Structure formats: structure tokens, C-alpha cells
Chains A and B, each alone.
Chain A
Amino acid sequence: MASDVQPKPVKRKPIEWFNLKGKRVGFWAYVGMRLSAIGLVLYLFLHLAVLSQLAVGPTAWDNFVALAKSPIFLLLDVILIIGILVHGLNGIRLSLIGFGIGVPSHKLMLWLAVILTIVFSILSALAIFSETH
């Protein structure tokens, strides 16, 4: 082909994986997996940073524990558990299909993971909020 006219190159923006246009259910699982992953990594570092209070001494830690019992922190706890459920249950699904187990029913497993996530999220939210009283 004559090379005097160049085609429009592909623009690969780093966030292109988050382009939701026309995507279907498997893609949502992938996006959910990735968003929960980013959230959990942030939480991990935050958690480790907070634990450094333990090295400071008993008062520092007990002050933090008191703060952690506030409703906003408890809500964050629930979000954390939802993230863990999304990532963990879908992770089990991905491991299974990655080793060739249950590939034809990957969508069924996804819906199962969604249902379990919802059920366990509600149960843990109830447990967390009732525990304080």
C-alpha cells in the first residue's frame, strides 16, 4: 500500500482497560477484580502503617482502637470485607478455570460468586454493626 498516507495509529491509554463501551459480564468481573485488587493493596499498606502504632506503645494503640470503633470505620470495615469477598470468590473462580476446571460454566460460577458476595456482605455487615452494641 502506498505509504504517503499513514493510518490513524492506535492510542493506548493506560486506563483503556477501564473502557466499558459495549462490554459484557466477563469484563465486569475483570474490572471488579482489578478495582478490588487496587483497593486491597492500598488497604494492606495502610494496615501495616497503622500497626506501627503497636511499636509506639499501649496508649497509642488503645487510642486507635477507640477510633476504629466509630461508625465510619465500621463502614470502611464492611467495604473491606466486600472487597475481599469480590476478590477472593472471583479469584477462586479464575484459578479453577485457569486450570481448565469448569470453563464452560464460567458465567454460572460468576453469578454464584456474586450471590455469595452479596449474602456474606450482608451477614458480615450485620455482625459488625451488632457487635458494638
Chain B
Amino acid sequence: MKLNVKIYRYKPGTEPHYDTFPVEVPETANVLDALERAWADHDMSIMFRHACHHASCGSCGLLVNDQEKLPCVTPVTDYGEGATLKIDPMRNMPVITDLAVDASVVYQRMELIGMPIIRNAETIRPDKRTILPEGLETFGRFENCLECGLCLSACPVMATDPQFLGPMTLAAAERLLAEPRGADVDRVYRLVDDEHGVWRCHSSFECTEACPYEVDPGAAIMRLKRKIGMRKLKRFFGGS
């Protein structure tokens, strides 16, 4: 399958521009494979972040035709034979060079909430029971959130307010409140119940559209609003 990739190029101190490269990839390829072909066949100075190529590390997030995508799991067939893919770095993060962004805000905000990456794995048995092998107390698995930052890139509030905690952060808080794993729940409530926390969200659901891994930050924020709202109202009307 033949494609053109139109890649955003930027070196500090110079004007950004686009370079377009023709590439040929198999039908089974993802956008990241196309990008890697452009890098290997045309210009090895193209810098882009990538590691796992199977939606686990969350490092490769970028914009394809202005929409937030995780290119390692975005099939080239989504765009069709002969298409030109315009590739830009994520929004709302400083650009180091080309497509590589400084994503430090992602880990800093996740660390602020303190959600551990390991959670209890849901059962995969049809009867919803969990049967464990000898020696194990629980099945664990990595959280759905890849910490890719695509939701921070897509969020229109992040585009104007750097203090906004962001969809990913709020979704992590919601997960932590649902499964605290020993965390200080009051601290998490204090963090997110803030003008620049959950209440800054204007419900555009761009985060949900951008999320590559079923985190659905938009819905998580709504659950969080409800949780906090109910807690506030309860306290206001004399509950505890």
C-alpha cells in the first residue's frame, strides 16, 4: 500500500516546516510502521517517540490529520491507498524536535494523583468468579491508562489553562477513588475538587474521542463530578 507521510519538522531556533515522503507498507501496517519506513528509507534525522509498538508504553502519541492518535494501533487502512497523512506533534506540550514532545507533564500529574499502575485484573471467566492459582492472592494487571497524554493534547481547556489538571489526571483520580489501594482518599478529593480541577472541564468529550485505551476520561470526569457534588451536598445538608 502506497502512502505519503507529511511530517512536521522542527529544530530549536528554526521555523517549523513539513517534509513529505512516499512510503510503501503492507495492508496490515499501522501509521507508526509508515513513519518508521519514512525514517529508515528517507531521513534518519526524523525524531519521533516510540517504544513498544503495541499500545502499552504510551510514548508514540501524535496527531494524524490533526486528530490525536496512537500511531502504533492506528491502521493505515483507516486512511486508504494513496492518502497523505499529515503528522504533527501533540498539542499543549513543548516540542523538543520534530514529533518528539516533552511529555513530562504526563508523569508529573500522574505522580501528583499517585495512582499505582497496577490494579486488580477483572475476571475473564464467564461466571465472573476469579479462580486463582496456588500462591497468588489476586490477579493484577496494568491500568488501562497508558499515560500517553493524547487526552491532554485533545482537551480544549488544556489549550488555554496550563493549571487545569487534565482529563488523564482526573480519570486517574476517579480510578483511585474507585479502588484506593491504600491511598489517602481525602487528599485526592482535595486535589480534584478545585477550580482548576474537575470543575474546569466543559464536557466536550474530546478526551474520550482521543483515548486509545478505553479509559473514557470524559465519563470518568462526570462520575467524579457526581461523586464530589454528592459529597458536598451531603455535607452541606448535615450529613457526614
Contact = CB atoms under 8 A, between A and B. Distances in A.
A8 B94 contact: yes
Contacts of A57: none
Contacts of A33: 202
Interface size class of B (residues with CB under 8 A): 35 or more
A26 to B, nearest CB: 4
Contacts of A27: 156, 204-206
B222 A97 contact: yes
Contacts of A14: 160
Nearest to B159: A16
B102 A7 contact: yes
A26 B206 CA distance: 7
Interface residues of A, number: 31
B206 A6 contact: no
Contact of A21 (B66, B202, B203, B219): B66
Interface stretch (B125-133, B135-143, B186-194, B223-231): B223-231
B157 interface: yes
A23 interface: yes
Nearest to A17: B156
A69 to B, nearest CB: 38
A104 interface: yes
Interface string B172-197: 00000000000000000000000000
A27 B207 CA distance: 10
A100 interface: yes
A23 B160 contact: no
Given A17-B157, A22-B67, A100-B222, A6 B229 contact: no
Given A14-B160, A22-B66, A99 B205 contact: no
A100 B203 contact: no
B203 A26 contact: yes
Contacts of A58: none
B229 A19 contact: no
A98 B160 contact: no
A24 interface: yes
Contact of B219 (A16, A94, A104): A104
Given A9-B94, A106-B205, A98 B222 contact: yes
B152 to A, nearest CB: 11
A84 to B, nearest CB: 19
A30 B12 contact: no
Interface string A106-128: 11000000000000000000000
A13 B63 CA distance: 20
A29 B162 contact: no
A70 B219 CA distance: 47
B65 A22 contact: yes
Interface of B: 10, 12, 63, 65-68, 91-97, 101-102, 156-157, 159-162, 202-206, 208-209, 218-219, 222-223, 225-226, 229
8 contacts: A5-B12, A7-B12, A13-B160, A19-B159, A23-B206, A26-B218, A27-B156, A27-B206
Interface of A: 5-10, 12-14, 16-17, 19, 21-24, 26-27, 29-30, 33-34, 94, 97-100, 103-104, 106-107
Please provide the 5 A-B residue pairs with the shortest distance between their CB atoms, ordered closest to farther: A22-B66, A100-B226, A26-B205, A7-B94, A30-B204
Given A8-B95, A21-B66, 16 more contacts: A7-B12, A7-B94, A7-B97, A8-B94, A8-B96, A12-B159, A12-B161, A12-B162, A26-B209, A29-B203, A33-B202, A97-B203, A98-B229, A99-B225, A100-B226, A103-B223
